[in-house]
Amino acid sequence: MRWLAVVCALSFAACDSTARRNGATGGSDGGGTGGSGGGGGATMSCGDDAPDLEGCACAGTASTRACWPASAPASARGVGACGDGMQSCQSAGEFSGWGACTGAALPSTENCTNGVDDDCDGNADCKDADCAMDPSCGCNDGDTRPCWDGPPSAENVGACKDGTQTCAGGHWPTTCNGEVLPTPEQCTDAVDHDCNHLPGCLDVFACATNPACQQQCKVDGSRMGCVCPDGSGDTATCPAGDVGITSGGFPGTVQCCPCTADDCGNPVCCDQAVCKGDSRCGGVTCTTLPPSCGGKVNFDCDDFPEDCDEPCCPCTSCASM
């Protein structure tokens, strides 16, 4: 235990981040309790755009930032009565770490008469299903109104549509009939199924690696001897002596063309006579293609370190090859 205390004293950020990733901090009795802010088992990120950086390393103890507790619903941030808190950079010996996110306005029980979206779900007062049976939210039988139970940012975006509620017995129903909520992006059509303003292949978060959205071959007549690659994506192959070329926007077009002097910046061409002695091939090691490659090279061999494990890249700057 003394060793652990010494390590934590030397590295506040590392120990606190580990504790919060495990969803616990040491209690006075040696047991674990749910960590404040981003604890409680929540997945933690120390990226600059993370809503809550509690326990992450920081620079400058005078620094402060707006934050949103990791334990709070992400969809409620900035909606209705909900608003950011603040966290400050705190010193712990020679290291500094972000403190707890305090002062945030979090969701609360919906008040059906104050004109405020208290539970921060995008629906205020009588428009909130929580108020359907509240006496102050009575209605005339047969009256209708639009309704929505999904994320506020997705309402009437893409395939998502409002539903309709019909008053019955002097009250609005608690369900929303006919609404279309977000579903996983299908990638094979131009419809925005997950309602994030990015339809089909334009939704790079969901579809970048989907086969339907991989580059399509379109041979450019301005270069002689070009052919289409075999396969798609990073595992596509070209004939030995060719280099993979991508052009156009997403998803773009691709082709395999014989290496020229202009292509020596791509390691796949460094074993070709046209690139012999070229300074751009300095530090690149070339080997004989394994028989399993069948005379084919990987479409893209200039991505370090992603392509270091590609067996059909004849030349590479990877130390292991």
Helical (H) or strand (E) element with 285 = strand 285-286
- CA atoms of 257 and 63, how far apart (whole Å): 52
pLDDT tens, the chain, 321 aa long: 333 333 333 333 334 433 333 333 333 333 333 333 344 344 568 888 899 999 898 887 778 999 999 999 999 999 999 999 999 998 877 788 999 999 999 999 999 989 999 999 999 998 898 888 887 888 999 999 999 999 999 999 999 999 999 999 998 898 999 999 999 998 877 889 999 999 888 888 888 777 677 777 888 777 889 999 988 766 789 999 999 888 766 667 788 999 999 999 888 899 999 999 899 898 888 888 899 999 999 887 776 666 677 888 888 877 544
Alpha-carbon distance 241 to 132, whole Å?
Answer: 70
DSSP string, 199-226: -GGG-HHHHTT-GGGS-EE---TTSTT-
- Whole-number Å distance between alpha carbons of 281 and 154: 49
Q: Which tokens go with 161?
A: 């549509």
CA 117, CA 85: separation in Å to the nearest integer? 18
Amino acid identity, residue 296?
Answer: K
Domain ranges of the chain: 1-17+48-107, 129-181, 183-213, 215-316
Secondary structure (3-state) at 247: strand
Helix (H, G, I), strand (E, B) or coil at 161: strand
* Secondary structure element (H or E) that encloses residue 297, with its range: strand 296-298
DSSP string computed for 87-115:
EEEEEETTEEEE---BS-B---PPPTTSS
